[in-house]
Structure 1
Amino acid sequence: MHPAPSIIFFTVFSGLGFGLLTFLGFGKPDYSGFTAFIFFLIAYVFAVGGLVSSTFHLGNPQRALKAFSQWRSSWLSREGCLAVAALTVMGIYAIGVVFLDTRWTLLGLVGAALSLATVFGTSMIYTQITTVPRWSHWTTPVLFILYALTGGAFLAGQTSIAAPMLLLLGVFQCVYWIIGDKLFSASGSTIETATGLGSMGKIRMFEAPHSSKNYLMKEMVHVVGRKHARTLRIIGVLCLSLLPYLLLVLPPFYHLISLLALLLHIGGALILRWLFFAEAEHTVGLYYGQR
């Protein structure tokens, strides 16, 4: 599918923001006053900034508020409602930590749970799309939550948690590819099933259905060469997981090294999230001979 920059920014940075809010809800790091304010500020800038950027992909961004009314049937709406709930609860919790030097533990735990639920809601927007077999699998929400928790631990300065999470995320990202690369074929969707002409035997497209590109081809069909995809996968995993891990665990440890590791991790996340969309094959592509 077409990897729109606004959606890449949204999924990466909102995940980082809500991941950090999760750790702050658990009381990590254990700061109060102005230092705690900085951590909450970073979390809110990432979370809210990511959510706002998602509206740039809408045809009519001014109608975004209407999405909240469809929570009974839409994961997009549920994600929005969960995000508002998480930001509200964590905002109240932040008042106690920053201004009153008080931790309302139960409120923090509820806020952390809502923050993770928001990330899960984001992942389900894509998991529910059965016409994209690579996404429609249990590995998609697990991957999103691992990204959020790893980035959240990083931003919260929890090196002892972030280091093993980096390796776990890198391994699971590879597992996601191993499983995902087989899902389209396993779904049974072919040009024969798409056109309903399977009874005639093996068929092929004589020519494209349209003489020029249309909306479906722009949004739902995006072909990435295997060679380029493999190169981006390697670069992405190195930046996302392996290099930041080495920078965190190998002495000497400095804050500047930790910052470099974080920037590498975010860069890797952006690369791999681009691939997440670019490699997603929608079944509509069968009508255009694009597999």
Structure 2
Amino acid sequence: MHPAKSVIFFTTASGAGYGLLALLIAATIGGLFPADFWLAFAGYALSYVLITAGLLSSTFHLGHPERAWRALTQWRSSWLSREGVMAIFTFLPTGLYGLHHLFFPDLLPGVMALVGGVGIFACIVTVYCTAMIYASLKPVHAWSNGYVPMGYLLLALMTGSVLLNSLLVAFGYAATLVILLAVAALVAALIWKVAYWRFLDSTKSISTPESATGLGEFGSVKLFEAPHTEANYLMKEMGFQIARKHAAALRKIALGAGFILPVILILVGLYLGGIGLIAASLLAVIVMAIGIVTERWLFFAEARHTVGLYYGASHA
């Protein structure tokens, strides 16, 4: 599949934003977040900037972005529509809780904790809906499996916890629990990513040229002549292919920068303390961003659509 830059930015930025926002609210409800106005303000501002920028960038991939609002009416059957509805709804409980946290922390604490809980749940559901946009596409074997929803949720938790840790450290509130959460999320996401790639390399779609054409009873089916003299829309968007050697190199970059190096940097920073801890935590965020963008690019580039079978592909 063609890796559109806008969709890659959308899935990485909004996932990190929702992860950070959910963890920020959870830490506040649990009494684990420091009573620092500017720290809280920076946390909410960063999460909403990431979420909003990601959501807006997703419309750039549409042929007519001005019609994006129409997708919201199809929530009964479309995961894209459900994601849009949930994204808009999530602003309400999380926004109310954020205002409560920043300006009215002593007002109705029990009720606002419930509102915050709804906001956390809404963040999780929104990320899940985003994942299901892809997991529901049965013609794409690389997406239509249980690894995809799990991965989206894990990546949101991972990126959100690393961001939260860097914020706390930058403001002088290093928290062992958050550091352990970030390391655990990075390790869990690393295990998931390796398992997903093994699944991708060891399995293929049940669709074949024989089943796609319905000519399997006559023997193997091979392309005799290309249906077009030049690339068309289907081949540009759904027939994108990446060389195996390039995919292998990019996988190493994704694993190293996205998962392994951030763990090392966080642990080294914990050992160094002081300025070293701040520098290592911020560097972990930068390195992780490079790795996750690479991982998301591969998520699209390595996916094969069944339509490729009509253009000479041996499998989907």
User: TM-score by structure 1 length?
Assistant: 0.96
Measure, in 1, the Cα distance between the counterparts of 2:253 and 2:37.
Answer: 39
In the alignment, which residue of structure 2 is the partner of 1:211?
229
In the alignment, which residue of structure 2 is the partner of 1:228?
246
**Residues 56-135 of structure 1 aligned to structure 2 (within 5 Å):** 56-102=60-106, 104-135=112-143
Deviations 1:164-219 (A, max 9, x none): 11111111100011112334x2x321111112221221121122111111111111
Measure, in 1, the Cα distance between the counterparts of 2:77 and 2:221.
Answer: 38
What secondary structure is seen at the aligned counterpart in 2 of 1:26?
helix
User: Is 1:245 the equivalent of 2:263?
Assistant: yes
Measure, in 1, the Cα distance between the counterparts of 2:289 and 2:35.
Answer: 24
Q: Kindly report the root-mean-square deviation, in angstroms, between the aligned alpha carbons of the 2 structures.
A: 1.3
Deviations 1:195-250 (A, max 9, x none): 22212211211221111111111111111111111111011100011111011112
The answer on whether the counterparts of 1:32 and 1:98 sit within 8 Å (CA) in structure 2 is no
Measure, in 1, the Cα distance between the counterparts of 2:104 and 2:293.
Answer: 37
**Residue 30 (structure 1) shift:** 3.6
The answer on whether the counterparts of 1:6 and 1:56 sit within 8 Å (CA) in structure 2 is yes
1:195 to 196, 213, 223: 213
**Which runs of 4 or more aligned residues in structure 1 lie more than 4 Å from their structure 2 counterparts after TM superposition?**
none
In the alignment, which residue of structure 2 is the partner of 1:45?
49
Aligned positions, number:
289
Measure, in 2, the Cα distance between the counterparts of 1:69 and 1:32.
Answer: 41
**Residues 116-195 of structure 1 aligned to structure 2 (within 5 Å):** 116-157=124-165, 158-183=178-203, 185=204, 187-195=205-213
What amino acid sits opposite 2:227 in the alignment? Answer: P
Deviations 1:101-159 (A, max 9, x none): 34521111110110011000000000000000111011100000000001111111122
**Which is worse superposed, 37-46 or 200-209?**
200-209
Measure, in 1, the Cα distance between the counterparts of 2:43 and 2:95.
Answer: 12
User: Is 1:9 the equivalent of 2:9?
Assistant: yes
The answer on whether the counterparts of 1:24 and 1:112 sit within 8 Å (CA) in structure 2 is no
In the alignment, which residue of structure 2 is the partner of 1:286?
309
Could you tell me the percent identity over the aligned residues?
Answer: 43
Segments of 5+ residues of structure 1 without an aligned counterpart are none
Measure, in 2, the Cα distance between the counterparts of 1:75 and 1:188.
Answer: 24
Measure, in 2, the Cα distance between the counterparts of 1:172 and 1:162.
Answer: 15
User: TM-score by structure 2 length?
Assistant: 0.89
